[in-house]
Structure formats: C-alpha cells, structure tokens
Structure 1
Amino acid sequence: MIVQRGCILVRKILNITSWVLVGIVAVLAVLLFGLKLFGFEVYTIISGSMEPTHPVGSVIYVQKVDARTLEKGDVITYKVAGEVVTHRIYEVVIDPENPEHIQFRTKGDANKDPDQSGDAGLIQPNNVIGKVAFGIPVLGYIAVFMQTSAGKFAAISLVCIAIALMIIPDILFPKKKEQKTDDKKEETEEENEDNKEVKSNE
C-alpha cells in the first residue's frame, strides 16, 4: 500500500510539473507571438527614456490607430531616422493653414526636454506605427533571449521535458485497473461455473 501510494504521489507530481511547464510555454507564446494575431505589434524597451512608465526590459504592445485620434499624453511608437522610438505625445501641432494636417512633438517621460525644438523634426502621421496599449515589465529580457540560439534551444527543451514528464509516469507506474478488471471477470466467471455445478448436483 505504501509503495502504491508513493507511485500515485510521484505520478501526480510529474503530471503537475508537466502541465506547469506547458502553461509557461503557452503563456509566453501568447504574449510574445499570439497577440500579433489581434493586430498588436510587439516591441522591447531598450532605453530608459520612458521610465518609470515603461522601464528597460519591458515589452510593449502597440495597436495601429488613426493618427487623427491621437491626443496629448498618448504614448506612441513611431519611426524616425530609421529607428523605432516610443515616447509620449508632448504636443499636437496643427497647421493653421490646413487644420487636417497634424504633427506631433514627443518627449520621453524621463527626459527634461521634448525631442523636437521648434517645428524641425516633428513626427508626421505616416511615421506613427501605433499607440501603446499596454506593457509588461521584464518580459522583454525573455523576448530578447528567445531570439538567440540558446533561447530557442531552451524553449524546445522545455516542450520536450513537458512531453517526457507526461509519458514517463505511464512507463514507470503503469495503471493496474485493466488487470484488476480482468481478475474480477475471471472471479465472476469461476463463481458462475461453481454455481452451475452446485445446481446440477442438486
């Protein structure tokens, strides 16, 4: 009985561990790749200009929006000089001669001054990738690691370990329900035969 209980406990521990690993891999897959299916672009914060809102190592989720709906205070991701930048809108600049033409002056939360001085270098609507919907701290470190060979190997290893932990319990501790069922059937058949013999003798 003690050995049987020990086997059951080990089986449960291995099963729980395997499902935990599967859950971790699934959550990371959804956060780093799955949300792209819902229109989000995923970026990793690599500088401290947006701290403390989005600290270094955070992952941000950017959603495409109509630039005309953007307001002062919105955090946007945009392209400038071949780089992707995420800063807050400091000012929405409207062309007095053409009110439909808007531009954006931006500023990092941790920076003292806006990114653009005067009208030079203002962000054009067609350079805006989207508005930051939300961010998750630290996840960016994992995202960067997952892009390396070691990270990809680690991810594949986790999946393999999870699958192995699901299979190992059945190999090491096979269930005996079928054997017990067969034994019960044999006992029932023997009892029926004995009953038949008793009736025939009577």
Structure 2
Amino acid sequence: MDEEVKTQTVPKREKALNLMKNIVTWVVVAVAVFMMIFTIISATTLNRNDRSLFGLKMYKVLSDSMKATDFAAGDLVFVKAVDPATLKEGDIVSYISQNTENFGETVTHKIRRLTTDAEGNAGFVTYGTTTDTDDEKVVTYPFVVGKYQFHIPKLGYFFDFLKTTPGYIVCILVPFLLLILSQGLTSVRLFKQYKSEQNAALEEEKAKLAAEKEETQKMMAELMAMKAQMEAQNAQTAQPAQPAQPAQTAEPAEAEQPTTEPAEVASEEPTAPAEPAETAETQRAE
C-alpha cells in the first residue's frame, strides 16, 4: 500500500515541478519581451513631439508643478493631439514652452483662461497647480502639442533606467540569458530522456532477440532429439530376424569329354599349263 502511494506521489511531484518550470520560463519570456518593447518605445517616442504611439505622445514629468492635483515628477503622461480651438478652461495641455527658464521644453500645465497675446493671437494662460502661479508667456495655438489624457506613476524613471547600461543588463540582457539557459537545460533534459528511452528500447529489443534465440535453440534441440528417436525406430524395423541356412551338399564331378582334332587334309598344288607354240609368223620374222 505504501509503495502504491509513493508511486502516485512521485508523478504528481514531477508534474508540479514541470508546471512551475513552465510558468517561470513564460514569465521570463514575457519580462524580456516587455522590456524590449519598453526600450524601443522609450528610444523612439518618449519626449518626442514628432512621434506618437497609437495616437498618443508620451512625456516624462520633470517637476512637481502639478503634484498638488494630478501628477508628479517622474510620472509618464500621455497626450493626444487635438484642435487647440476646442480647448477650454480647466483642461490640461502640453505645450512647447516659450518661458525664459525652460525655453523649448515640453510643459504640461492647466489652462486658467483663454486669452490673446500682444499681437492678438489666440492662446491660453497656463499655470501649475502646486504653486498656482501663471506661466510667463501666453501659450498660442502653434505651440500646443496636445491635451492630457492620463498618466502612469514613476514610469518615466523606469524608462530613464532602461536607457542606462545597468538598466539594459538587468532588464534585457539578464532575462534573455535566463531564457537561453532555461531552453538549454530543457534541451539537455529532453536529449537525456530521448537517449534513455532509446537505450531502454534497445535493451528491450536485445532481450526479445535473446529470448527468441533461446526458444529457437530449445526447439532445435527438441527436433534433433525427435529425429534421433525416429532414426532409432527405423533402424529397429529395418532389421528382421534371419532364418537358419541349410547345409550345402557336394556337387558331382563333371565327366571329362574327349576332344577330337580333325585330320589335316593334304592339298596338292596345281601344275602350271604348257606354253603354246610360237606362231608361224614369228618364226618367219626370225
């Protein structure tokens, strides 16, 4: 019973560990991706009047001039471009400052009232809610960047940190190194698991072949034994009991037959015929 409980507990523990590893891996991936996105955004759109993200421009708040009511230094404000003629008293706007102390910087202040400048151009009187002091110059329409939408506290400091070397190492390099390390360990673990499974399969195949070989040898031994038994039985049936042979009798001697040789007959040679007499003409010629 205890062994069954242990065998059930081990897979559950391994499953929980694998789940935790997967969660950590995905968290690291998400952090690395978000850090990269934030870095790209901060480098391309932060504090840029000519760049926007989804129609919104982002600015880091540099002072606490609006801390009393809305946002503080280090916060990240989001501004949307609008028609300056639609702005009214109480709206918060971002504009390019023409004041002496912060000339050229983007300032986000509240509109106190609508007015015109010395040349008759329409504009606004703006102020910071913390000091409740009007800004030096009237903000005319050409210098209005957009209307304030919302802010994220202290995110401006984080973007500034991302631009530094320690920020890059901590927020981007380290997460990616952890991700690479995690994937490397996972690859090694999967490779070891694959090798162990492959070795187990080979051992199983070897054991199967050995068992088949042993079974074959056993069958061969049985067949050889059966063959020997059949040969012995065939040998016994092929040799019946032989009957006793009778005694041999003496054969009578064959009578000798006399041989007769035929008598030789003498043959006489024929005599040569007499030569004929020469003709009369031959004699005359002589």
Task: Note whether the superposition's TM-score is higher than 0.5.
Answer: yes
In the alignment, does 2:167 pair up with 1:145? no
Seen in structure 2, the aligned counterparts of structure 1 residues 39 and 114 have a Cα distance that, compared at 3 Å, is same
Query: Contact conserved, 1:45 with 1:59, CA < 8 A, in 2?
Result: yes
CA shift at 1:115, angstroms? Answer: 1.5
Seen in structure 2, the aligned counterparts of structure 1 residues 59 and 170 have a Cα distance that, compared at 3 Å, is same
Q: Aligned ranges for residues 10-159 of structure 1 at < 5 Å?
A: 10-27=17-34, 33=41, 36-51=52-67, 52-80=69-97, 81-94=103-116, 101-116=121-136, 121-154=137-170, 155-159=172-176
Question: In structure 2, the residue corresponding to 1:50 is in which secondary structure?
Answer: coil
Query: Contact conserved, 2:116 with 2:138, CA < 8 A, in 1?
Result: no
CA deviation map 1:112-158 (0-9, x unaligned): 22223xxxx10111111111211000211111101112212222322
CA shift at 1:87, angstroms? Answer: 0.8
User: Which amino acid in 2 is paired with 1:165?
Assistant: S
Seen in structure 2, the aligned counterparts of structure 1 residues 30 and 88 have a Cα distance that, compared at 3 Å, is farther
Structure 1 or 2: more strand by fraction: 1
Measure the CA separation in 1 of the matches of 2:111 and 2:127.
Answer: 6
Larger radius of gyration: 2
- Name stretches of at least 5 consecutive residues in structure 2 with no aligned partner: 1-6, 46-51, 98-102, 213-286
| TM-score normalized by the length of structure 2 | 0.53
| Bigger relative CO (Cα 8 Å, ≥ 6 apart) | 1
User: Which amino acid in 1 is paired with 2:107?
Assistant: V
Measure the CA separation in 1 of the matches of 2:188 and 2:14.
Answer: 12
| TM-score normalized by the length of structure 1 | 0.72
RMSD: 3.7
CA deviation map 1:69-122 (0-9, x unaligned): 112122111111122211111112157x97xx4201111121222223xxxx10
Seen in structure 2, the aligned counterparts of structure 1 residues 162 and 89 have a Cα distance that, compared at 3 Å, is farther
CA shift at 1:24, angstroms? Answer: 3.2
Identity of matched residues, %: 28
Measure the CA separation in 2 of the matches of 1:151 and 1:62.
Answer: 26
Measure the CA separation in 2 of the matches of 1:141 and 1:49.
Answer: 17
Query: Contact conserved, 1:11 with 1:169, CA < 8 A, in 2?
Result: no
Measure the CA separation in 2 of the matches of 1:65 and 1:136.
Answer: 21
Question: In structure 1, the residue corresponding to 2:135 is in which secondary structure?
Answer: coil
- Name stretches of at least 5 consecutive residues in structure 1 with no aligned partner: 195-202
Aligned length: 186
Seen in structure 2, the aligned counterparts of structure 1 residues 150 and 8 have a Cα distance that, compared at 3 Å, is same
Question: In structure 2, the residue corresponding to 1:37 is in which secondary structure?
Answer: coil
User: Which amino acid in 2 is paired with 1:58?
Assistant: D
